[in-house]
């Protein structure tokens, strides 16, 4: 029995359920009573509360959630637009889902039983799906990730929960992934004489925006933050167009924008034509052919024609980089391209290889691409040049497409130049296309250009004048290939055809949801089909890769699978049959059988450093730079695996090195003291004519005491301990190079 005060307190909490002593049948649960009521919970009211406690709790929960929505909406009025959208995207769907659950629970009899069955079936299906996705995680175009003794493997639980989400699930609320077509259709072309022809299909006034040629710009004009795009916009020249007066474009103009009423179209071309492009002569001071080490050592070069068995034309090189795409993400979001990629493998014409253990060497684009394009993360010398300068110095025609209104050379190595007036583009490229991707319809003129809803990192469809941004880039790539190949037989320099090197970067993978990448699938698959069917792969090395996997979003933030994918970027390469056959002569032991080095490399730990040295080897073909190869050879032999266990990579003398190597079971039949790779190569030249056994040349450190190295740095240092096996006149020469320097940056300076 409750006291008077207790009854009054209860009535204050639940006044709607108070009673005046009427029988239970006549009590209305939500009836308000007069002042004479006792405000006590009795009899049938307590029974009602007990029987409807779930409903009452759900109503309270719905009220709280509704208040949450109202509070968030009011608070969002004071937020920035981007933050407000994110809050709405999270809270409103969450509240709708909970409200739907409540309605179904209150209206459907035995809903909890049904819900439990659905949960069980869904959970079982999810488990089966996860097993399937975990299995295909290791699969590639032609092979799969093999778990081999002695090879590295991923650490931690690798469960790809992200594969359970249907396509578009992470950014469905951001709008359509399709581009809205322009109101008017514009037909515009540039003929071989540089004359622009426009058919607007209407009586609207026509204007032509001539976009600037950015290739020759100095470094300071290509600064990323609100300078590069503004410089492009300031240099645009707008001219009226009439059919009566033809518009002849300047020889250096690569792109114009045709504007007709409210519609616009980008028109690109390759200019100057290849038959008017002179052979580039590099400045003596920066000529990459004047590498000191290769000049000093006559033995630094091996000419492949002396031991090869096929033709040795210099190969063309096409490199497409898709930013922030893991190996699994490529197959997850680009199924059409993956299917066509598999068809690029055509024995007898060209071979496709995929690196399953390709590993990033940095968190983001900068370190990985510096390793890939310069061979160093921290350049050891001033004024470093990208790899396409290396090609141009050797007679290649070089071209680059940047789709993010940024210049890689300025952002990643520009700070190492003595003067910001220097033009890396003018030094290293024959063609460049960048200015169309700085237009304000895609790249914000001011403020943050890298937001979630506009710009090169947006989670929405990246459109420009009714088409995807990447479509305009592919248009130019098609034109480049047509121009460079159409007159290939006529481009003769000393009776040797001038090959070409094309690089292009696409940023569709660089955003937190991982969904925008789907938009490039059609264009990329069409490009792969064209490069396959055109016969270009017969004389062209084609590389499609990423710098790293996705380093943002839910999967990366919360799951080990996301972190694994971040470190395992996609890499696939097609090589012409002659190059493959050349490598086939030097088969290596893989497991219990001998296989091609290409097949062996698929299962080895490789990094962007190996990509850089691959680029260099292709540029020098048919000559092989032994210095480059010694520094870049993939860790293959048992000797390397044993030497990689050495706890210190610096020793006081050759004798110390020999003693330590002996303790680690590293066979050294002959030690030649050397303080540079050049000296070591000279030693090889001296012994290779008479040697009948394997000789290990160890580079001795000039330091007098061992160098202490941080364990994390040591892990990176292991990447620079290499071995190489060369067959020369039936003599097997193996070079084991143990780099004994204190700074990792100085390793690549050698």
Contacts of 559 (CB under 8 A, 6+ apart): 159, 161, 162
Tell me how far apart the alpha carbons of residues 521 and 517 are, in angstroms, rounded to a whole number. 7
Nearest to 147 by CA among 157, 138, 160: 138
Tell me how far apart the alpha carbons of residues 99 and 65 are, in angstroms, rounded to a whole number. 9
User: Looking at the predicted structure, is the pLDDT value of residue 655 above 50?
Assistant: no
Q: Are strands 247-248 and 571-576 parallel, antiparallel or unpaired?
A: unpaired
Helices (runs of H) and strands (runs of E) counted in the chain:
26, 24
What is the average pLDDT across 505-515?
93
Reported confidence tier of residue 90, pLDDT bands at 50, 70, 90 = low
User: Looking at the predicted structure, is the pLDDT value of residue 74 above 70?
Assistant: no
Alpha helix (H) ranges present in 77-140? 81-107, 111-137
Tell me how far apart the alpha carbons of residues 354 and 569 are, in angstroms, rounded to a whole number. 11
Tell me how far apart the alpha carbons of residues 667 and 512 are, in angstroms, rounded to a whole number. 50
Q: Would you state the pLDDT for residue 44?
A: 61
Q: Would you state the pLDDT for residue 676?
A: 35
Tell me how far apart the alpha carbons of residues 127 and 161 are, in angstroms, rounded to a whole number. 10
What is the average pLDDT across 428-449?
91
Nearest to 174 by CA among 461, 465, 601, 551: 461
User: Looking at the predicted structure, is the pLDDT value of residue 715 above 70?
Assistant: no
Please give the residue that has the higher pLDDT: either 56 or 42. Answer: 56
DSSP secondary structure letters along 581-638:
HHHHTT-EEETTEEE-HHHHHTTS-B-HHHHHHHHHHHHHTTEEEHHHHHHH----SH
Please give the residue that has the higher pLDDT: either 441 or 99. Answer: 441
Tell me how far apart the alpha carbons of residues 520 and 694 are, in angstroms, rounded to a whole number. 50
* Structure-block tokens of residue 635: 């860790």
Q: CA triplet 333, 338, 343: central angle to 5 degrees?
A: 170
Q: Would you state the pLDDT for residue 53?
A: 74
What is the average pLDDT across 436-451?
88
In percent, how much of the chain has pLDDT > 70?
67
Tell me how far apart the alpha carbons of residues 530 and 322 are, in angstroms, rounded to a whole number. 19
Q: Would you mind telling me the total number of residues written for the chain in this entry? A: 750
Nearest to 564 by CA among 35, 209, 138, 179: 138
Lowest-pLDDT range of 34-48, 172-186, 416-430, 723-737: 723-737
b/e per residue 609-624 (b: at least 16 CB within 10 A):
bbbbbbbbbbbbbbbb
Range of 3-7, 252-256, 614-618 with top mean pLDDT: 252-256
* Structure-block tokens of residue 204: 């609207």
Reported confidence tier of residue 468, pLDDT bands at 50, 70, 90 = very high
SS3 call for 559: coil
Give 673: exposed, middle or buried? Use CB within 10 Å, 0-12, 13-18, 19+: middle
Q: Would you state the pLDDT for residue 28?
A: 43
Backbone phi and psi for residue 139, each to the nearest 5 degrees, phi listed first: -85, 150
User: Looking at the predicted structure, is the pLDDT value of residue 494 above 50?
Assistant: no
What is the average pLDDT across 228-251?
90
User: Looking at the predicted structure, is the pLDDT value of residue 629 above 70?
Assistant: no
Q: Would you state the pLDDT for residue 446?
A: 79
Q: CA triplet 748, 573, 375: central angle to 5 degrees?
A: 10
User: Looking at the predicted structure, is the pLDDT value of residue 250 above 80?
Assistant: yes
Q: Are strands 255-260 and 263-268 parallel, antiparallel or unpaired?
A: antiparallel
Lowest-pLDDT range of 168-172, 390-394, 611-615: 168-172
Among left, alpha and beta (phi > 0; psi -120 to 50; other), residue 250 is beta
Nearest to 93 by CA among 58, 68, 123: 68
Q: Would you state the pLDDT for residue 67?
A: 67
pTM: 0.74
Give the number of C-alpha atoms closer than 13 A to the C-alpha of residue 206, restricted to the C-beta side: 24
Report CA-CA distances (Å) from 358 to 146, 175, 390, 602, 644: 13, 35, 24, 8, 19
Please give the residue that has the higher pLDDT: either 242 or 45. Answer: 242
Reported confidence tier of residue 740, pLDDT bands at 50, 70, 90 = very low
Please give the residue that has the higher pLDDT: either 77 or 13. Answer: 77
* Structure-block tokens of residue 395: 């007679």
Q: Would you state the pLDDT for residue 22?
A: 43
Question: Looking at 482-614, which runs of residues are DSSP E strands?
Answer: 492-493, 496-497, 500-506, 540-545, 571-576, 588-590, 593-595
Please give the residue that has the higher pLDDT: either 657 or 487. Answer: 487
Tell me the pLDDT tens digit for each residue of 544-578: 999 999 998 888 888 889 999 999 999 999 999 88
What is the average pLDDT across 126-150?
89
SS3 call for 493: strand
Reported confidence tier of residue 391, pLDDT bands at 50, 70, 90 = very high
Tell me how far apart the alpha carbons of residues 340 and 326 are, in angstroms, rounded to a whole number. 18
Q: Would you state the pLDDT for residue 538?
A: 92
What is the average pLDDT across 509-520?
93
What is the average pLDDT across 482-504?
73
Reported confidence tier of residue 620, pLDDT bands at 50, 70, 90 = confident
User: Looking at the predicted structure, is the pLDDT value of residue 741 above 50?
Assistant: no
Give the CA radius of gyration of the chain: 33
Question: Looking at 159-254, which runs of residues are DSSP E strands?
Answer: 187-190, 195-199, 206-210, 237-241, 247-248
Reported confidence tier of residue 378, pLDDT bands at 50, 70, 90 = confident
Tell me the pLDDT tens digit for each residue of 281-293: 999 989 988 865 4
Q: Would you state the pLDDT for residue 270?
A: 94
Tell me how far apart the alpha carbons of residues 600 and 239 are, in angstroms, rounded to a whole number. 58
User: Looking at the predicted structure, is the pLDDT value of residue 351 above 70?
Assistant: yes
Q: CA triplet 203, 435, 453: central angle to 5 degrees?
A: 85
The average confidence (pLDDT) of the chain is 74
The residue to which tokens 């497991």 are assigned: 591
User: Looking at the predicted structure, is the pLDDT value of residue 621 above 60?
Assistant: yes
Tell me the pLDDT tens digit for each residue of 580-615: 888 777 666 656 677 778 888 898 888 998 899 899
Tell me how far apart the alpha carbons of residues 683 and 83 are, in angstroms, rounded to a whole number. 65
DSSP 730: T
Contacts of 530 (CB under 8 A, 6+ apart): 478
Lowest-pLDDT range of 40-49, 372-381, 702-711: 702-711
Residue pair 714/700 in contact (Cβ under 8 Å)? The answer is no
Q: Would you state the pLDDT for residue 99?
A: 76
What is the average pLDDT across 683-706?
34
- Dihedral sign of CA atoms 57, 59, 61, 64 in order: negative
Backbone phi and psi for residue 255, each to the nearest 5 degrees, phi listed first: -155, 145
The residue to which tokens 């937001």 are assigned: 451
The residue to which tokens 């009535």 are assigned: 11
């Amino acid at each position: 029995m409750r006291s008077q005060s207790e009854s009054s307190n209860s009535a204050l909490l639940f006044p709607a359920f108070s009673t005046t002593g009427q029988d239970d049948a006549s009590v209305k649960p939500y009836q308000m009573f007069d002042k004479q009521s006792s405000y006590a919970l009795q009899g049938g009211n307590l029974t009602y509360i007990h029987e409807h406690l779930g409903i009452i709790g759900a109503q309270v929960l719905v009220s709280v959630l509704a208040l949450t929505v109202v509070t968030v909406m009011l608070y969002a009025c004071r937020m920035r637009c981007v933050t407000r959208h994110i809050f709405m995207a999270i809270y409103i769907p969450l509240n709708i889902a909970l409200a739907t659950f409540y309605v179904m629970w209150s209206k459907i009899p035995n809903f909890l039983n049904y819900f439990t069955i659905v949960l069980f079936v869904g959970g079982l299906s999810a488990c089966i799906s996860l097993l399937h996705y975990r299995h295909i995680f290791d699969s590639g175009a032609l092979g799969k990730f093999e778990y081999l003794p002695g090879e590295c493997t991923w650490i931690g639980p690798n469960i790809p929960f992200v594969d359970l989400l249907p396509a578009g699930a992470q950014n469905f609320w951001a709008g359509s992934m399709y581009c809205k077509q322009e109101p008017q259709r514009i037909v515009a072309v540039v003929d071989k004489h540089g004359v622009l022809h426009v058919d607007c299909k209407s009586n609207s006034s026509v204007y032509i925006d001539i976009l600037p040629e950015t290739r020759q710009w100095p470094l300071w004009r290509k600064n990323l933050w609100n300078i590069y795009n503004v410089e492009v916009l300031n240099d645009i020249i707008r001219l009226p167009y009439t059919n009566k007066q033809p518009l002849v474009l300047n020889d250096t103009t690569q792109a114009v924008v045709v504007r007709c009423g409210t519609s616009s179209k980008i028109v690109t071309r390759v200019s100057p034509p290849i038959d008017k492009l002179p052979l580039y002569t590099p400045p003596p001071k920066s000529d990459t052919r004047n590498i000191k080490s290769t000049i000093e050592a006559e033995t630094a070069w091996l000419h492949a024609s002396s031991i090869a068995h096929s033709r040795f034309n210099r190969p063309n090189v096409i490199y497409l980089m898709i930013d922030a795409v893991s190996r699994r993400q490529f197959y997850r979001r680009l199924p059409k391209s993956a299917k066509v990629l598999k068809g690029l493998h055509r024995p007898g014409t060209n071979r496709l290889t995929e690196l399953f253990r390709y590993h990033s060497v940095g968190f983001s684009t900068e370190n990985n691409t510096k390793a890939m394009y310069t061979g160093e993360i921290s350049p050891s010398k001033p004024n470093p040049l990208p790899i396409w300068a290396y090609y141009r110095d050797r007679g290649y025609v070089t071209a680059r497409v940047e789709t993010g209104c940024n210049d890689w050379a300025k952002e990643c190595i520009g700070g190492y130049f003595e003067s910001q007036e220097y033009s890396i583009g003018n030094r290293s490229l024959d063609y460049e296309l960048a200015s169309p991707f700085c237009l304000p319809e895609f790249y914000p003129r001011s403020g943050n250009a890298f937001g979630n809803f506009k710009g090169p990192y947006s989670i929405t469809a990246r459109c420009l004048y009714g088409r995807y941004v990447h479509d305009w880039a592919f248009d130019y790539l098609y034109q480049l290939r047509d121009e460079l190949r159409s007159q290939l037989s006529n481009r003769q320099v000393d009776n040797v055809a001038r090959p070409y090197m094309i690089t292009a970067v696409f940023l569709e993978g660089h955003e937190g949801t991982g969904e925008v990448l789907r938009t490039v699938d059609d264009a990329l698959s069409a490009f792969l089909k064209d490069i396959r069917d055109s016969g270009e792969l017969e004389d062209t090395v084609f590389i499609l890769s990423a710098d790293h996997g996705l380093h943002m979003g839910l999967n990366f933030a919360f799951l080990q699978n996301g972190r694994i994918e971040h470190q395992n970027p996609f890499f696939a390469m097609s090589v012409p049959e002659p190059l493959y056959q050349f490598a086939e002569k030097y088969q290596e032991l893989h497991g219990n059988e001998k296989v091609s080095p290409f097949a062996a490399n698929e299962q080895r730990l490789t990094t962007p450093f190996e990509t850089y040295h691959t680029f260099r080897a292709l540029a020098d073909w048919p000559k092989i730079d032994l210095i480059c190869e010694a520094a870049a050879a993939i860790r293959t032999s048992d000797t390397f695996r044993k030497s990689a266990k050495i706890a210190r990579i610096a020793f006081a003398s050759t004798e110390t090195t020999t003693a330590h190597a002996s303790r680690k079971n590293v066979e050294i039949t002959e030690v030649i003291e050397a303080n540079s790779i050049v000296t070591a190569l000279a030693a090889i030249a001296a012994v290779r004519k008479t040697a009948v056994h394997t000789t290990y040349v160890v580079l001795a450190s000039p330091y007098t005491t061992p160098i202490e190295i941080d364990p994390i740095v040591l892990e990176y240092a292991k990447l620079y301990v290499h071995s190489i096996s060369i067959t020369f006149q039936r003599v097997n020469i193996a070079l084991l190079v143990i780099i004994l320097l204190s700074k990792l940056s100085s390793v690549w300076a050698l």
